[in-house]
Amino acid sequence: MFLSSCISHPLISPKISHFGQPSNLHRNVKVDKGYTSALKTRGTDHPSQQARIGAGLLGKWSFAKGTRLVIRKEVSTFVPFRKSFEVQASWLTTSQIASSMFTLGTAAVLPFYTLMVFAPKAELTKKTMESGVPFIVLGLLYAYLLYLSWTPDTLRLMFASKYLLPELSGMAKMFSSEMTIASAWIHLLAVDLFAARQVFHDGLQNEIETRHSVSLCLLFCPIGIVTHFVTKAVAGTAAAGDRHRMH
């Protein structure tokens, strides 16, 4: 009963003694409080960590030293806080990368179409359209986006039928991803620019108008190719009629 009373009420007057002498219990309690405070301070020094330190009080009694309280330090548990502004693995999200590459690819091909439409006979246009650098850049960009958009289900969605042929439903699921759409757009830009260059060179060789066909190749490439063949046929018929009249 005496031991329980000491543990439950640590603030005992220093006049209490077993042998008529002042007890050192009050001094021990002060030391223990300071030690407990030091533990709490030490556990919460770092702002990015939260420390939970518990201390248990154990009462001991002897005839030589009287009653004293001993602090038993418990195991500390540190719970680190994650910073709200922690650095991400990538500077941009997948959606941001797809959007940026979509805009970059579109802007990259516009100068070539501008030269072919507004200055088709200029030397700068001829030298520029003879270069293969634009197609190499677009090809590398497409390969990068294809890598980012590739999933284990890509091939299964592309060849979903039992005859290993593409199906519309599978392609629709595959193109539900923004990254896949961006890669397909870069693919179209590269193919359309290549077709427009072929139309441009054929027009220079046969001395026929190609500006309308080149313009259509930017967004409606198959229609641009068709208009070029129509223009070429009409121009050839008109040239044949002129030669016939001259004779």
Give pLDDT tens digits for 122-177: 999 999 999 999 999 999 999 999 999 998 888 888 887 777 888 888 889 888 89
Contact 210, 228 (CB under 8 A): yes
In a domain, 180, yes or no: yes
pLDDT at 191: 97
CA distance 1 to 79: 39
pLDDT of residue 170: 86
Q: Is 70 strand, coil or helix?
A: strand
* First-last CA distance in the chain: 136
Q: Please tell me the predicted confidence (pLDDT) of residue 96.
A: 92
Listed in sequence order, the residues at least 6 apart from 161 whose beta carbon sits closer than 8 Å to its beta carbon are 167
- C-alpha span between 217 and 84 (Å, rounded): 48
Q: Report pLDDT for 165.
A: 86
Is 43 inside any structural domain? no
Residue 215, both tokens: 């313009």
- The Cα 225–Cα 195 span in angstroms is 8
Cβ-contact 227, 203 below 8 angstroms: no
Asked if the structure places residue 208 within a domain, the reply is: yes
Question: Is 170 within a domain?
Answer: yes
Q: How far apart are CA 142 and CA 149, in angstroms?
A: 10
Domain presence at residue 159: yes
* Helix, strand or coil, per DSSP, at residue 218: helix
In a domain, 46, yes or no: no
- The count of domains in the chain is 1
Burial class, 131, CB count within 10 angstroms (exposed 0-12 / middle 13-18 / buried 19+)? exposed
Domain extent for 235: 91-245
